[in-house]
Structures are given as C-alpha cells and as structure tokens.
Amino acid sequence: MFDFFRNLRKSEAEKRQEAITAYLDNALTAGERQRLEEQMTADPALRVELEQQRLVKLNLSRLPRSRAPRNFTLDPALYGRPARQSGAGLYPAMRVATVLVGVFFIVAVGAEVLTFDTQAYDTNSVADRFFAQAPAADVVLEAEAEMASEAASAASFDSAPQLGADAEEVVPESEKLFKEEQLGDEPPDVFGATTDEDVVESAIAAEESLAEALVTAVVGTAVEKTGTREAAAESAPRSPTPAEEQEEPVEAPPAEVDNGLADLPSGAGGEPEEAPLSGVMVTGEAGRNGLAATETATGLPPMPTMIAVPLEEEVAEAPGEALAETFAPLLEEGEPAYRQDVYSRLSARQLVILLLGIILVLLAGVTLIVRWRLKE
Amino acid sequence: MDETYLIRQAQDGDVSAYNTLVLHFQDAVYNVAYRIMGEPDAAADAAQEAFISAYKALNRFRGDNFKAWLMRIVTNACYDELRRRKRHPQSSLDEIVENYDSSPILINQDESGPEKQSQQAELVEAIRLCLEELPEDQRVAAVLCDVEGYDYQEIASIMSISLGTVKSRLSRARARLRDCLQGSAELLPAGYRYQ
C-alpha cells in the first residue's frame, strides 16, 4: 500500500529507471518486461540507460571477495545455552489479537456514530421506562406539577406576553415560579418591561438570576428542603408533604401534565413533540420535590441527593450524557433494580467501546514491548 | 554440512555446533560488513558482534534461511556502528595508519601480472570510494544485490523493507554509482567503461 502511494509521487524518469533496474535483476513480471522491451526498441535513450546500469552491476559484482581477518568463533567457556525467548512465540498471536480488537473497536465506534440519533431516542425511551416503573411516583409528580402550573398561571406573565413567549423557550414555568420564590421581595423587572431594550436587558438579567437560583436550588434543596418549601408556600399553594399525600389521594392531574408523565409510550413509537422532555421530567422545584416525595410515598429509602434535571437544550445537545449525569446520583443511591435497568440500557454500547479501547491500548502496548525486546 | 541440525544443536547450547556455522558463514558476513563499513577493522568488529548477537538470539530463529538471518543481524550491527560514529565522530592519525596497514586479503585477485593487478586495485578503490559516498540505506541495498547477489525478496527480508523500497533504493544507488564511476572512467577496463 505504501509502495502505491510512493509510486504516485515518483516522476516518470524515476519510474523508468526503477523499471530498468528491475529488468536487469529479473524482477519484472512478464508483462512489464515485454512493455519495457517495446519501449527500449523505440527509445535509444532507454537502451543507453540500461547499458550503463548493466556496467555498474558488473563492476560491483567483480569486486574481489575478502577473507575474514580472523575466526569469529565463540569460546564455549564464555557462552552457555542461548536464552529462551518466551515472548517470541506469543508475538504473532498478540499481533493478530491487537489487529482484531482494533477492527472491532473501529466497527463499534462507527456503529455508535452512525446510530447516534437512534440511540438518543432510545435513551429518552429508557428515561420514560424509568418513570413508568415507579407508578406511585407518577401520581405525586403530577400533583406537584399541577400545583406548579397553577402557581405559574397566578404569576404576572400575562402582563408581558411577548417577553413571556421569549422566556418560555429558555425557562420552564415551574422554574420561573421557583425563581420568583428564591428572589423574594425583589423580583427582577422582567415582567413589567415595556420597551424592546428593557425587554432584552430584563431577559438577560432574568437568565442570570435564574442560573444563580438554579444553582442555589440544587445545593439548597439537597441541604435543607424545608426552607425551600416554606419559601414556596409564601407565593404558591403549599406542596403536600409525603405523609399528607399518603393520607390524601391526589386527584387526576391536568391533561397536559399527564401527557408528559403517565402515558408516555415506552417503546420506539413515542412522539417527542407531543411529550417534551421538560414535561416528562418536571423541571424545577416541583419536579425535585416530586422525586423526593416519590421515594417516600413508595416506601423506598429516602433519597439523600437531589437531582438537577437538565434543560431541554442540554438534553438536545447531548441526550445520553445529560441523562447519564442526571440519573447518576439516583442510580448510585436508589433502587438497585432501577440502576441495573437504566445503567445497562443507557450505556451498554459505550461500555463495550470503552472496554474495547482499553483492551486495544493494553494489547498494543504489550505487543510493542514484546516486539522491541525481540528486536534487541 | 547439515545446517538445520547444527542450528538445532546450537539452540540447545552446543557452542561447537554454532562455531561450525560461524566458520561456514564468516567470510560472507565479513564481506558484507566490510562493504558497508568501508574499513577492515570496523567490519571485523561488526562481524564479531553479529555472531555473538546471533548466538544469543538463536532461539528466535524460526525461518529457513539462516544466512539471510545472519545478514540481517550484521547489517543492523553495521547500522548501529555507523550511527554511533555519527553521534561521536572521531579520527586520529593512528587510526588512519592502522586502517591503511590492515587492508583486506583478497580471495580472487587477478593473477595476470603486476600491471593488471595495479589496475584492479585502483578500480576496487574507486568503487569503494563511490560506495562510501552513497547513503547508508542505498549502500546496503547495492552491496546485498550487486556484490553479494541476493534477490529482491531476500534483501527486503534482510533490510526489513518492502520490495518497492528495495527497487527504489537500488535504482538510486546505481544511478549515483554510475555518475561517480564516470569520473573514474580511465580506471575502468575497456569493457567496463561507460560511453
């Protein structure tokens, strides 16, 4: 193969000279030999070149042979049995194994790249199945989402519909509500903006505030959930505690929330447009409380770490990674059955690629070392 | 000489069997080393080093061409020595005198008279100088093919290169040698002069 690429760079003169060299040494095929002879018949310069090379070869072959100035025999007293080369027999097998693993690795990576979208879709399905396996969680999540939705409708979004439409793309309703709760008495003047400049500035400020609020929420909620719940109770209907939920059955949730939680198809027939991921996971405080309540309501051990659910954009960019990061704490501390299911389905292919890559690196390294020792 | 039997005996630690092989191949090994190194003493050192290395690595020999395997080892020994000289160049008057005194003993000298012998010696010297001007890889290819008579496949095996590379190096080596020897045309016998 390298000879082929090298031949591409050679000039015609070089190719002709190499052909003459090979002709002199009988290293041409019958066809190549016949072609060159035809060319020499038509081109006297080729015949001159051939004759000059023949003379060079003749001169070199007539160089006198020299006798060795001394004997190079070894002293038996100094040299014992030649060392056994344990790696010599292993080297061919290791080389073949390295090539095979390399091929499998390339195929696996290629398949991963080619089926990336499909896998992302399957990842969403896994997330759906994850929620579907916890039926009690659905009920609690729906209740939480319903309350969040009511609180959102009670807020002053109606006064700035244009800004609301812009912010809607970035901030889910429950997170807007949560932002207001966290900021307390001094909400940003986002919703009262009237001019375009004000709208833009307010939107930027709202995004920054929301980012801070989300960070605070993730940390704060994990450290002390009760404080957040009290703050939420000031501006929105109080979320029922897990104990209250057990005592008081939750009513059927609204259609839009229910669409995202309970009735999602678990197979490949799901439609992401009808069931957006933010709806599925109930972002923001409501979703977090819902997850926490789920654990208690279902009788499972309480979940000490809360999960920051990624936004839609994050999920759209890297769905597999985002979901893997999202569910990692839950998988570590939650129900083993969930962990086995989600973890194995979510990253089985990646695990295979990772494993193949590690084996390939190890095999290649050992093979190179053995080769180096054999060459010594 | 049963080469295969001797090799097996040597692999089992029979140094005398290996020495039989050494005596059989030492002239060929030395000649290759001499044509590559250009100096008798350096060639002798390289040949000795090659035979020692070959014995230590005898259990790695799996092929059926022991001579080619030996040539590969001596070629590598020459490469190593040439690289070492490039890294640490050194020459002294003593070394030059010593090299001059230890010229190799020729086996098949032309016995047709003092004048012919003188011409032959000049021709050999001209070729030796032209060979020394070649790059190492081209010099080894030319020596193995045109001096020692190995075919392309054996050269590729000895030098661990592809057949295409053998052709390319040999072609360039001959072109350079042709240009170099044209400057010494008067030294060549009438039948060996370029027109």
Between CA A335 and CA A133 the distance in angstroms is 11
Q: What is the tens place of the pLDDT at every residue in A1-33?
A: 556 666 666 777 788 888 999 999 988 889 999
What the block records as the tokens of B58 is 């005898």
Between CA B76 and CA B61 the distance in angstroms is 16
Flag the least confident range among A37-51, A115-129, B138-152: A115-129
Confidence check: pLDDT of A277 > 50: no
pTM of the predicted structure, to 2 decimals: 0.50
Give me the residues of A, 257-316, that contact B with CB < 8 A.
Answer: none
Phi and psi at residue A67, in whole multiples of 5°? -90, 145
Give me the residues of B, 75-114, that contact A with CB < 8 A.
Answer: 102, 104-109
Asked if A25 lies within 8 A of B163 by C-beta distance, the reply is no
- Chain B positions in Cβ-Cβ contact with residue A92 (cut-off 8 Å): none
**Higher-pLDDT residue of A289, B134:** B134
**Signed CA dihedral, A262, A263, A269, A270: sign only:** negative
Phi and psi at residue A42, in whole multiples of 5°? -90, -20
Phi and psi at residue A68, in whole multiples of 5°? -60, 135
Confidence check: pLDDT of A229 > 70: no
Between CA B47 and CA B42 the distance in angstroms is 9
Phi and psi at residue A179, in whole multiples of 5°? -60, -45
**Higher-pLDDT residue of A299, B140:** B140
H-state helical runs in chain A: 2-9, 12-24, 30-42, 44-61, 86-114, 116-132, 135-154, 161-170, 173-183, 196-223, 225-235, 242-247, 255-261, 277-281, 284-297, 312-317, 319-333, 336-375
The residue of chain B with its CA nearest to that of A66 is B106
The tally of CA atoms less than 13 A away on the side-chain side of residue A44 is 0
Asked if B177 lies within 8 A of A72 by C-beta distance, the reply is no
Give CA separation, B170 vs A31, A58, B136, B167, in Å.
21, 14, 12, 5
CA dihedral A64, A67, A69, A74 (to 10 degrees): 140
pLDDT of residue B65: 85
Between CA A281 and CA A276 the distance in angstroms is 9
Give me the residues of A, 195-254, that contact B with CB < 8 A.
Answer: none
Confidence check: pLDDT of A87 > 80: no
* Angle (nearest 5°) at CA B79 between B77 and B83: 120
pLDDT of residue A371: 79
**Would you write out chain B's pLDDT as a tens digit for each of its 195 residues?**
788 899 988 988 889 999 999 999 999 999 999 999 988 999 999 999 999 999 988 888 877 789 999 999 999 999 998 888 888 776 555 554 444 444 555 545 555 677 777 777 888 888 888 998 999 999 999 999 999 889 999 999 899 899 989 999 999 999 999 888 887 666 566 655 555
**Signed CA dihedral, B142, B147, B148, B152: sign only:** positive
**Higher-pLDDT residue of A56, A146:** A56
- Chain A positions in Cβ-Cβ contact with residue B48 (cut-off 8 Å): 72
B30 at interface of A, judged by CB pairs closer than 8 A: yes
User: Which element (helix H / strand E) includes A67?
Assistant: strand A66-67
The residue of chain A with its CA nearest to that of B181 is A56
pLDDT of residue A156: 46
ipTM above 0.85, yes or no: no
Give CA separation, A347 vs A103, A126, A129, A321, in Å.
21, 11, 15, 9
**Signed CA dihedral, A371, A374, B4, B8: sign only:** negative
Q: What is the tens place of the pLDDT at every residue in A359-371?
A: 999 999 988 888 7
CA dihedral A348, A119, A172, A188 (to 10 degrees): 80
pLDDT of residue A86: 61
Confidence check: pLDDT of A210 > 50: yes
Give CA separation, A202 vs A214, A312, B39, B52, B152, in Å.
18, 22, 87, 84, 79
pLDDT of residue A226: 46
Asked if A56 lies within 8 A of B181 by C-beta distance, the reply is yes
B1 at interface of A, judged by CB pairs closer than 8 A: no
Reported confidence tier of residue A90, pLDDT bands at 50, 70, 90: confident
B46 at interface of A, judged by CB pairs closer than 8 A: no
The chain-wide mean pLDDT, for chain A, equals 64
Give CA separation, A143 vs A139, A234, A241, A257, in Å.
6, 18, 11, 9
Rg of chain B over Cα atoms, rounded to whole angstroms, equals: 18
Mean pLDDT of all residues in A192-212: 63
What the block records as the tokens of B63 is 């092929």
Give the percent of chain A with pLDDT over 90.
Answer: 8
Contacts of B137 (CB under 8 A, 6+ apart): B159, B169
Domains observed in chain B: 1-105 (1.10.1740.10), 107-195 (1.10.10.10)
Rg of chain A over Cα atoms, rounded to whole angstroms, equals: 37
Strand-pair partners of B105: A67
Confidence check: pLDDT of A260 > 70: no
H-state helical runs in A115-192: 116-132, 135-154, 161-170, 173-183
**Higher-pLDDT residue of A235, B146:** B146
CA dihedral A287, A288, A293, A299 (to 10 degrees): 110
Give me the residues of A, 28-57, that contact B with CB < 8 A.
Answer: 48, 51-53, 55-57
Domain residue spans of chain A? 2-56, 90-134+318-376, 137-259+274-297
Most confident of A137-141, A148-152, A156-160, B163-167: B163-167
H-state helical runs in chain B: 3-11, 15-37, 40-56, 66-87, 93-101, 114-133, 136-142, 152-159, 163-182
Residue of A49, A56, A71 to mutate, testing the B interface (most B Cβ within 10 Å of its Cβ)? A56
